[in-house]
Structure 1
Amino acid sequence: MDFIQNEIKEIKKLLLALNIQQKEILTIEEASEFLGLSTSRLYKMTSNKEIPHYKPGGKKIYLKRPELEQWITGSRVSTDDDCTLKIDDYLSKPLEN
């Protein structure tokens, strides 16, 4: 009986992974499963702006799977310093009339 229960758990896990692979927009829980990170770690990463994410309405967090894949393979994380540099660059441009 334990063998069957373990097999069912494994099938559920595979179906969840397949479902995640087919979705473009992921919840924090799905992204956590996709990345192999705890949800608390992922919340901390979004709070620190270490990973691209979306907060429509300012509450629930969503992540785009293609952006997560790019983040994983490219190791490119937009930091607060990057944003500051972009702002500084924008502000240093002369005003156009």
Structure 2
Amino acid sequence: MTIEILVEKLNAIEQTLSKQNNYLKPVLNFKEACEYMGVSSSFLYKLTSARAIEHFCPNGKMLYFNRLALDAWMQRNPKRTVPTIQNAASTTVGRERA
């Protein structure tokens, strides 16, 4: 293995570890939030300007996001599985009969 290949692999490992560390931070900046959510910067700007996603502007320009709030936003409006729907329906019907 040549030194160039080793350097490339070490750089890739360093980038991966850096991204993983960002995913553990409680507060993300705009760029980190885009990477974390896997969305484009224009889409995230649209969400913030429409006030569709919680964000913070402590100095009026820089945007920051709470990672847990981003998780909650990404997990909103779940699509239930058929077994979950059937279970909920049978539970509801069971209550009405009692």
TM-score by length of 2: 0.63
Cα offset for 1:35?
0.5
Structure 2 unmatched runs, 5+? 79-98
- Equivalent residues in 2 for 1:2-81 (5 A)? 3-4=5-6, 6-75=8-77
Aligned residues: 76
Find runs of 4+ consecutive structure 1 residues off by over 6 angstroms: none
Mean Cα displacement is larger for which, 24-33 or 3-12? 3-12
What secondary structure does 2:46 align onto? helix
Structure 1 unmatched runs, 5+? 77-97
Percent identity reads: 33
What secondary structure does 1:32 align onto? helix
What secondary structure does 1:63 align onto? strand
- The aligned residue for residue 79 of structure 1 is none
**Structure of higher CA gyration radius:** 2
